[in-house]
Structure 1
Amino acid sequence: MSAAFFKRSLMFSIPLLLINLALQYHEAGKLTGTEVAVNLIAFLLAGVFFEAMGSWRKRRIQKSRFAFMAETAVWAIIAIGLFVFFYRMS
């Protein structure tokens, strides 16, 4: 595995980890070292897993016209779902 692979996997997992820790601290008022270590390991493994799945998908499916349209549809559904979720929360 290359350094670029790990860089891409850390690019999203570290900021998400920090956001998660901030939310946990805001809710509970304290953080233990065990919680931080478990969250760190979980987010790093998830980042590596998602990056591996993304690179596998790109190698296996390639970038055909259908794959591009399907990926666009999935991201559109995710964006609409997030909009509805946060709109209903306010």
Structure 2
Amino acid sequence: MANIKSAKKRILVNRTKAERNKSIKSAVKTSIKKVEAAVAASDKEAASIALVDAISTIDKAATKGVYHKNNASRKVSRLSKAVNSIA
């Protein structure tokens, strides 16, 4: 354990931020899974509704700095491509 006060604070702040990031990443993964499940079931309507929700969640995560903007953009692009591939 650290002895210096600022180092102790860093440990606490890093732990708090890691928990926050973990919950945001978990929400993103859940929304992506919902889109992929709808695509697998070939349900265009449900997939497009889930896609809108997923894009919103991913953009919020990128805005908060959990994901890099290019990473978020790539995720959105791949989901959109999957939804558009449904005949």
Range class of TM-score, shorter chain: 0.3 to 0.5
Give the helix-richer structure, 1 or 2: 1
Could you state the TM-score of these two structures normalised by the residue count of structure 1?
Answer: 0.35
